[in-house]
């Protein structure tokens, strides 16, 4: 895994090969197995990625990441076999995306650099008990106090807050001229200044260690990343990054699960032949593989857009990829039969639950479809040419 004799990781092939070596290493495998066994997020994993120069290669000195590196990293994180750990590494990276592009103060820039080096772990939270999909319903507040702000409130879901050093908090800037529903601001806060509650026993992605946080604390103004009224724009950029990466991640994981399932089908016999000889199974897995491959090609095409990532295509990519991944994991688990159904005989059941969590975290299906719907363009010209509507006055 050493970087000593390798070509610079700005070279994509070198980056991919280096990532493969990290993901497939014995150290990583042991770390992941242990984390999945104990449901404890392995902080060391992000330190390892940082130390090995993975985040540095995708960020360089730029405010925006190399999308090729983002795609390569996310696909390989999907192959870790742990939706929770892959998601935590992606959330950390999406927080870096917001700090790199919108962080103005030296203090924030330094924190972003240390996060890229893996010395600092970041998490992000907007969700509250009373507001999840509808972010404009948040109730936590930021009130000007001296040279900074007093932040008060709570967040229901913050992953992996027990293992993070800083958290990005979306709150209402109540005493600002933007007061109203669109007055959200974003602050970077040391975890030492918030109280982390008990980790939730989530149905899947347990190793992402999602926990609530409570806060009544003061931060200097330099820790404000988005002033009131601008938070949604900053979060949208972070979410575009996160959603694109989650799409690539779950497709990488789906491809991995399909490979494993094909191996199972070529080893296991039923009715005197290999499972792979049963057309019903073979064609189902072929259909899934075809759709996964096409969607992976779609992501490659997305990053060739000179305008970079945008909110709408990232939302579309995430909702489509995650729903496909749920189908893939469900079918793969099914083809594994009882081995798929027993926790300690294969990881398929866990992967199925991890995929389901991804339909909620980072924006639910419906919220993402609404973003896509907002950009739908009617083709009135063709409609008028091709469709004749019956009108009572046409009746002669």
Ligand X SMILES: Cc1cc2nc3c(=O)[nH]c(=O)nc-3n(C[C@H](O)[C@H](O)[C@H](O)COP(=O)(O)OP(=O)(O)OC[C@H]3O[C@@H](n4cnc5c(N)ncnc54)[C@H](O)[C@@H]3O)c2cc1C
Using CB under 6 A as the criterion, what x/- string covers residues 367-386 for binding ligand X?
Answer: x-------------------
Please report, as residue ranges, which positions from 78 to 107 form the binding site for ligand X (by CB under 6 A): 91
Stretch that binds ligand X, among 229-237, 240-248, 260-268, 364-372 (CB under 6 A): 364-372
Stretch that binds ligand X, among 312-320, 333-341, 353-361, 375-383 (CB under 6 A): 353-361
Nearest to ligand X of 265, 326 (CB atom): 326
CA dist list (Å): 319 to 91, 145, 316: 17, 41, 5
Nearest to ligand X of 105, 141 (CB atom): 141
Among 85, 205, 299, 326, binds ligand X (CB under 6 A): 205
- What stretch of H or E contains 120? none
Number of amino acids touching ligand X (CB under 6 A) = 22
Among 110, 216, 287, 366, binds ligand X (CB under 6 A): 366
- 49 contacts ligand X (rule: CB under 6 A): no
Cβ distance 49 to 121 under 8 Å? no
We find the least distance from the C-beta atom of residue 63 to ligand X, in angstroms, to be: 23
Stretch that binds ligand X, among 40-48, 114-122, 205-213, 282-290 (CB under 6 A): 205-213
Please report, as residue ranges, which positions from 130 to 189 form the binding site for ligand X (by CB under 6 A): 132-133, 157-159
Among 28, 202, 217, 346, binds ligand X (CB under 6 A): 202
We find the least distance from the C-beta atom of residue 204 to ligand X, in angstroms, to be: 7
Please report, as residue ranges, which positions from 206 to 265 form the binding site for ligand X (by CB under 6 A): 208, 210
CA dist list (Å): 104 to 3, 48, 223, 225: 32, 27, 9, 7
Nearest to ligand X of 173, 363 (CB atom): 363
Kindly write down the DSSP assignment for every residue of 339-355, as one continuous string. Answer: HHHSTTT-SHHHHHHHH
- 364 contacts ligand X (rule: CB under 6 A): yes
CA dist list (Å): 28 to 33, 95, 236: 9, 23, 32
- 70 contacts ligand X (rule: CB under 6 A): no
We find the least distance from the C-beta atom of residue 92 to ligand X, in angstroms, to be: 10
We find the least distance from the C-beta atom of residue 77 to ligand X, in angstroms, to be: 16
Q: How far apart are CA 80 and CA 28, in angstroms?
A: 9
Residue 153's φ and ψ, nearest 5 degrees, are 150, -155
Instruction: Report which of 119, 120, 206, 123 is spatially closest to residue 159, judged by C-alpha positions.
Output: 123
Instruction: Answer left, alpha or beta for residue 393, where phi above 0 means left and psi between -120 and 50 means alpha.
Output: alpha
Structure tokens at 61: 């000195």
Please report, as residue ranges, which positions from 254 to 313 form the binding site for ligand X (by CB under 6 A): none
Nearest to ligand X of 345, 366 (CB atom): 366
359: Cβ–Cβ under 8 A, 6 or more apart, which residues? Answer: 322, 323, 326, 365
Residue 189's φ and ψ, nearest 5 degrees, are -130, 135
* Residue with the CB atom nearest ligand X in the bound state: 132
We find the least distance from the C-beta atom of residue 323 to ligand X, in angstroms, to be: 13
Nearest to ligand X of 57, 124 (CB atom): 124
Structure tokens at 245: 């990466």
We find the least distance from the C-beta atom of residue 163 to ligand X, in angstroms, to be: 12
Among 125, 261, 313, 346, binds ligand X (CB under 6 A): 125
Torsion of CA 149, 156, 321, 122, to 10 degrees: 50
Among 28, 127, 217, 254, binds ligand X (CB under 6 A): 127
Q: For residue 335, give the DSSP letter.
A: H
- 361 contacts ligand X (rule: CB under 6 A): yes
Kindly write down the DSSP assignment for every residue of 84-115, as one continuous string. Answer: HHHHHHHHHHHHHHHHHHH--SHHHHHHHHHH
Among 96, 97, 120, 126, binds ligand X (CB under 6 A): 126
Structure tokens at 305: 């857009």
CA dist list (Å): 385 to 238, 262, 381, 388, 389: 42, 49, 6, 8, 11
- 348 contacts ligand X (rule: CB under 6 A): no
Count of residues for the chain? 396
List of residues contacting ligand X (CB under 6 A): 91, 123-127, 132-133, 157-159, 202, 205, 208, 210, 357, 360-361, 363-364, 366-367
């Amino acid at each position: 895994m050493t970087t000593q004799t390798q070509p610079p990781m700005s070279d994509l092939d070198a980056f991919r090969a280096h990532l493969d070596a990290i993901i497939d290493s014995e150290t990583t495998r042991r770390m992941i197995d242990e984390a999945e066994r104990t449901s404890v997020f392995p902080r060391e994993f992000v330190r390892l990625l940082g130390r090995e120069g993975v985040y540095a290669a995708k960020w360089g000195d730029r405010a925006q990441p190399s999308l090729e590196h983002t795609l390569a990293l996310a696909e390989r994180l999907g192959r870790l076999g742990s939706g929770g750990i892959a998601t935590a590494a992606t959330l950390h990276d999406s927080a870096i995306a917001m700090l790199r592009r919108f962080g103005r103060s030296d203090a924030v820039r330094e924190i972003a650099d240390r996060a890229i080096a893996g010395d600092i772990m970041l998490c992000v939270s907007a969700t509250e008990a009373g507001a999840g999909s509808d972010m404009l319903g948040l109730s936590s507040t930021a009130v000007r106090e001296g040279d900074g702000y007093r932040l008060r409130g709570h967040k229901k879901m913050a992953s992996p807050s027990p293992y993070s050093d800083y958290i990005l908090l979306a709150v209402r800037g109540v005493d600002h001229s933007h007061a109203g529903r669109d007055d959200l601001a974003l602050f970077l806060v040391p975890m030492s200044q918030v109280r982390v509650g008990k980790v939730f026993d989530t149905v899947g992605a347990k190793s992402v260690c999602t926990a609530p946080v409570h806060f009544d604390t003061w931060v200097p103004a330099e820790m404000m990343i988005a002033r009131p009224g601008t938070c949604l724009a900053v979060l949208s950029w972070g979410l575009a990054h996160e959603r694109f990466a989650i799409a690539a991640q779950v497709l990488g994981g789906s491809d991995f699960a399909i490979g494993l399932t094909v191996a199972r089908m070529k080893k296991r016999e039923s009715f005197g032949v290999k499972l792979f000889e049963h057309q019903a199974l073979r064609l189902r897995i072929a259909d899934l593989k075809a759709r996964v491959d096409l969607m992976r090609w779609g992501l490659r095409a997305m990053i060739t857009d000179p305008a970079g990532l945008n909110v709408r295509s990232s939302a579309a990519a995430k909702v489509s990829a995650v729903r496909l991944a749920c189908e893939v994991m469900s079918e793969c688990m099914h083809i594994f039969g009882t081995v798929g159904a027993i926790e300690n005989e294969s990881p398929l059941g866990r992967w199925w639950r991890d995929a389901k969590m991804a339909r909620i975290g980072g924006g639910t299906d419906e919220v993402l479809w609404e973003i896509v719907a907002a950009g739908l363009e009617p083709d009135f010209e063709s409609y008028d040419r091709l469709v004749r509507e019956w009108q009572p006055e046409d009746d002669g």
